[in-house]
Amino acid sequence: MIAKAVAGFLLLLVLSEAASQTVGGILSVSPSTGSTCGVGSSDCPTDPALDATEIPTEIPVSLETSTSTSTEPASGNDSTTPSVATTAQETITQSPMVTSSKPNKGSSTTRSPPRKLPTTVKQPEGQILGYALSETCACDLMAFSCDINCCCDPDCTNFQHAAFSKCKVEGYPPYDNRYCYASKLVFLNNSEHILEQSQSGAFCIVRSNLAASVLYPSHPVFLSLQDFLRHWDRTHTPVWPELQAAPISVVEKPKPYSAGSPILLIRNSQSETFDLPASRLTAACSVKNAVLYLLPWSSKCMRKAPDGQHECDSVSSYIHYQLQNIVRSPLLVNQTELPSETVELCPENVCAPVTYFICSGSKVEEDYYTNNCKNISSKNVLFGLKNGVCFGVVKRLRLLFHHNGTDGILHIEAFMWLSNISLSDYSVTKPLHQSFSVQFKWARLNKTVGTITKNNTLNSMVEHAPFPRSGNPGYLIGQPVIAAFRVKQKLSANSSKDTSKDSAKLAKHDTIDLSHDPKQWLTLPGSNMNGMCDVTLAQRHIVTFGEDLHMSCGIAVSPRNISSHFSCNALRSRLLQLLLGDIAKSFHNGSFNADWGRIIAAFGSANVSKPQEWVPLLLDSQPPFTLLSEDSMSTIESKISNEDKLSDMSIDHPLQMCENVPLGIQLQLMHGRVGSPSNPQSKIFGAAMRFTPLQDIGWPCTSAACPQKQDALYLRVVSTVKFVDISSPAVTRFAEPPAIHIRLPPDFFYPFMATEGSSGASIHKTSMALVAAFLIPLLFI
C-alpha cells in the first residue's frame, strides 16, 4: 500500500540529451501525495535551496532512489556522491533513470539507511568531491540510544525507525555549496533516497584534485609544556588579568614620614594605617582608602544609616578613636613603650594632639569656609549609641594636619559636622552621606604646638589660612575670580585686617585690599533648597573663571513692601544687598559712580604688589535710583514699621508699584590667552557689571483696596556670568629673509666699461651693444 503511494508520488523523468547524462532530471511530485513524506512535500525536511526555487513540483535534480533493490546499503550510500566526471562514478550512476522508486519492496533492508555499516562503506567519490563522506551523524546526540527522527543514528533499529515521523538529515552528508553537485539524503517513507542538487552559480567545482585544500589543516597535539607555552605566547590574544598579589606588609626599619607614605595610628598596641572610607565604582562606601602623608585627599560616599551598636560605632566613635591615635612619626613607635591594650589613650609623646571643631550649618562645599565652627573639647561630645540614638555621627570631617616635613605631624585640627541619628525613625532606605577631606599645612617653625592649641578663636585661623591662588600666573578654569578693593591711601587705616601685608608695604598711592576669603570676592546670590534667595554669605555662589553661569532665586515681596517710596527704596536696597553681597556697602555712602574701587585680578596669582595686574570692575550703568546711606537704612526700617500702622490711614494714596527695582545682575568678563602658545596663560582683560533692565513691580490693580487682597509677590532674581574669549589666534612671526648682495667684481666688464682716463660715453655705448649682442642670442638657445 505504501509502495503504491510512493510509486504514484514520484515520477522521475530524465532529460535525455541534457548536458550531463547523469544528473539531469526533473522530479515531479504529484499533488495527491497525502501524508507521505517525500521530496518537496512539507512533511519532509527538504533542502531550503529547493524551497527557494519555488518550484515545488519540478525540481531540477537527479534523484536516485538508493533504494531499494540493493540489499547492501553501502552501495546505496555510494550513489549519494554524484561525481559526474569520474568514470568510476558513471558506472554507478549510469542508471539514474529510475522510472519509479519501489522502496518498499517488502524487505526490511530497503529501509535500512546507510548507518548500518558505516565502516564498510568505501567512499572514493566522496573524497573526490572534496570532503570525506564522514560517518558523523549530527543529530545523533544521545550516545548508545536511538535519537528520535534521526535516521542516520546507527543506534536505531528498523523497528525504531517505524516510529519516526520524519528524518533530520541536515548536515548529513556534509554539504559544500561550492561543488556542482551535492547529495542529500531523503527518506521517503523511511526508505532512503538521494537528492542531488545542482549548484546554480556560473562556476562550480566538479572535481577537486586536492581535497585537502578545503579542509582545515590539522594541528599537532601539544605533548610537552614547552611546546604548549611556545605556541601560547605566539597566539598574542588577550588573557584574563592575573590576580595581583597583595602587598605584604614587610616589617622594616621605620622610616620618617615622607610625601605619599601612609599615616600610621596605634590600635591595640599595634600600628596600622589610618584609613577613611571612600567610594569606588558607586557612591557607596565600599573601600577603605589609606590617608597618605602630605597628599591632600577627599572622598564622599554613602553608607547605610546606623541601625545597631556596631554600625553606630563605625560612623561615630571609631572615627574619633582613630583621630586620637594618629602617630606623630613612625620613628616614635618603636622608641617608646606602647601602652598596653587596656589603656585607651595613646601617650602624648607618640600620638599627635587633636583639636576638635564642631561645625554647624549646612555642609558647604568650600573647605575654606569654617566660620561656623567652634572649638570644643572632645570630652564634651558624645559619641556612640545611647538610648537608641546614635550620637556624634560624622557627616563631614575635615582634617587639617599641621606637619613639619620629616619631623612628622605636630598637631591635627579636626572640623566635624556631626548629627545625632535616632535608630528608630531613621529608616533603612535613607542612606547616610559622609564626606572626608584631608589637608596638610606646614607648621610654623617658631610656633609650638601649645600656642596653637591655645589659639582657639577661628579668626586667627583664617588669618593664617593658606591663600588659594586661582592659577599662577594665568587663571585656571573653574577657579574663583579674585576681586579686591582699591583703597585710597588715606583710607588704608580703615582697611580690614584681612589686608595682606604686602599691600601695606605698597609705596603707591592706592593699596589693594585683598581678602583671603573667596566668599568676599565676586559672589552671586544662590538659592536654598526651597528656591528662596539665601542672604547668608555661606550660600553665595563664587564666580569661577571661564564658566558661564545662569542662576536664579526667588524673593517674596509683600504688599507692604511696595506701599510707599520709603519702602520701595528699602526694597531696592535690599535687592542690591542681595545681588552684590557685601560689596553693596560701598554704595551706601551715596557715591554710585563707576569708580567704586572694585578691582579684579588680571592673573590668577593675584599679586597685590603689582597694581598694573588688576583691572577695574566697570559699572555699566548707574541705576536710576538713589540709594540710602546705612544710617538712613535703619530709619527706614523703623519707618516701615511705622507705616504699617499708618497704612490704614494712608490708604487713600497707596503705591501699588515700585519703579526701577533691580531684579538681576549681569557680569561680563573678557579674557584671553597671553604668552607662548605652548603654555598659554589666561588673563582677564576687562570686566563689567550691569543690572538687568530695571523692572517696575507691582500688581495690576485698580481698586484702592487691592494690595490687601493680594498675596505676596514672588519675584525672581537672576544673576548671569558670561566669559568671552577675545584672544586672537597666535601670530607666527618670521625673521626677514636675508638680503642677498651679489656683486660682480668691478673689473668684470673691464674692456667695455669706460675707465676714468678715457673718453667714456662712446665706449660705454659700444660696450653695452656688444654685451647685448653676446647675451641676447644666448637667451634663444
Q: Which residues bind another protein (CB under 8 A)?
A: 282-284, 302, 362-363, 430-431, 433, 477-478, 526-531, 541, 544, 546-554, 677, 680, 695, 714-716, 722, 725, 729-730
Least distance (Å) between residue 259 CB and another protein = 31
HSE toward the beta carbon, residue 507, CA cutoff 13 A: 0
Using the structure block, give the residue that is written with the C-alpha cell 614620614: 257
Please identify, using beta-carbon distances, which residue of 654 and 664 lies nearer to another protein: 664
Burial of 687: CB neighbours in 10 Å, binned 0-12, 13-18, 19+: buried
Please identify, using beta-carbon distances, which residue of 118 and 546 lies nearer to another protein: 546
| C-alpha triplet 5, 7, 8: angle, nearest 5° | 65
Least distance (Å) between residue 675 CB and another protein = 13
Please identify, using beta-carbon distances, which residue of 209 and 678 lies nearer to another protein: 678
Produce one character per residue of 131-170: b if its CB has 16 or more CB atoms within 10 Å, e if not: bebeeebebbeeeeebbebbbbbbebeeeebeebeebbbe
Q: Give Cβ neighbours of residue 503 (< 8 Å, ≥ 6 apart).
A: 511, 512, 513, 514, 608, 609
Least distance (Å) between residue 533 CB and another protein = 8
Please identify, using beta-carbon distances, which residue of 322 and 437 lies nearer to another protein: 437
Give Dmax (Cα) for the chain: 143
Please identify, using beta-carbon distances, which residue of 82 and 525 lies nearer to another protein: 525
CB atoms within 10 A of CB 654: 18
Least distance (Å) between residue 751 CB and another protein = 41
Distance CA 577, CA 618 (A): 18
Please identify, using beta-carbon distances, which residue of 299 and 586 lies nearer to another protein: 299
HSE toward the beta carbon, residue 502, CA cutoff 13 A: 10
Please identify, using beta-carbon distances, which residue of 160 and 528 lies nearer to another protein: 528
Least distance (Å) between residue 290 CB and another protein = 25
Least distance (Å) between residue 529 CB and another protein = 5
Least distance (Å) between residue 431 CB and another protein = 4
Enumerate the H helices of 208-273 as residue ranges: 225-235
Least distance (Å) between residue 348 CB and another protein = 37
Least distance (Å) between residue 254 CB and another protein = 40
HSE toward the beta carbon, residue 182, CA cutoff 13 A: 19
Distance CA 557, CA 219 (A): 88
Least distance (Å) between residue 301 CB and another protein = 10
First and final C-alpha spacing in the chain: 108
Please identify, using beta-carbon distances, which residue of 288 and 716 lies nearer to another protein: 716
HSE toward the beta carbon, residue 655, CA cutoff 13 A: 17
Please identify, using beta-carbon distances, which residue of 526 and 686 lies nearer to another protein: 526
Question: Which residues face 667 on adjacent strands?
Answer: 689, 721
490-491-496-502 Cα dihedral, nearest 10 degrees: -40
Least distance (Å) between residue 574 CB and another protein = 18
HSE toward the beta carbon, residue 657, CA cutoff 13 A: 10
Please identify, using beta-carbon distances, which residue of 714 and 750 lies nearer to another protein: 714
Please identify, using beta-carbon distances, which residue of 302 and 535 lies nearer to another protein: 302
- Hey, is 525 helix, strand or coil? coil
Q: How many residues does the chain have?
A: 781
Least distance (Å) between residue 435 CB and another protein = 9
HSE toward the beta carbon, residue 4, CA cutoff 13 A: 1
Burial of 742: CB neighbours in 10 Å, binned 0-12, 13-18, 19+: exposed
Please identify, using beta-carbon distances, which residue of 128 and 575 lies nearer to another protein: 575
Distance CA 657, CA 559 (A): 9
